[in-house]
Amino acid sequence: MPSVLLVCTANICRSPMAEVILRARLKEAGLESAQPVQSAGARAHPRGGETMDARAAAALQRHDYRPEKKWRSRRVQLEDFERFDLILAMEAQNLDDLRKLCPAPPLQGKLRLLLDFAPGLEGQDVPDPYFGPTQGFDHVLGLIERGVAGLVAASRAGTPLDLR
């Protein structure tokens, strides 16, 4: 499995949910490795340090995932573009932000939308549930699960993860 960075806007709901889900699915698939799986925010507070949104953590727990209590948000750093093999954005705006931050055009080949790995959802956004009702977090969790399932399946099959 390649190293993966999952990115949303503030790194307090969608991307940390995706990090927890991807780690769990990799463990279930026997694909745990020394390669890092992390999350970050394209527009997170520069110093980071925020905890996961309580509604995101509750949605994970309702679906039998175990978010880490010590988890803290962080902003995407320039070195992330070199460090990670694959950088998956939750929505088109995050992908645009990443393209602007990316220090070298060849590294932009690592940038994708998470749902590009979900058959039938390619090119679609994982919507931001932050300003909506609590049920939005469960909907988002389901979309993330579909993207993660496709990513894990592609990795297990040895499918090249470069979608371009």
Task: Let me know if 8 is a catalytic residue.
Answer: yes
Q: Which of 95, 141, 144 is nearest to 121 (CA)?
A: 144
Task: Let me know if 125 is a catalytic residue.
Answer: no
Q: Which residues of 137-159 are buried (b: 16+ CB within 10 A; e: fewer)?
A: beebbebbbbbbbbbbeebeeee
What is the SS3 assignment for 32-99? CCCCCEEEEECCCCCCCCCCCCHHHHHHHHHCCCCCCCCCCCCECCCCHHHHCCEEEECCHHHHHHHH
Name the catalytic one among 13, 14, 74, 125: 14
Name the catalytic one among 8, 13, 55, 75: 8
Do 5 and 84 form a contact (C-beta atoms < 8 A)? Answer: yes
Name the catalytic one among 80, 97, 125, 128: 128
Count Cβ atoms within 10 A of the Cβ of residue 13 and give its class: 0-12 exposed, 13-18 middle, 19 or more buried.
buried
Task: Let me know if 128 is a catalytic residue.
Answer: yes
Catalytic annotation, residues: 8, 14, 128
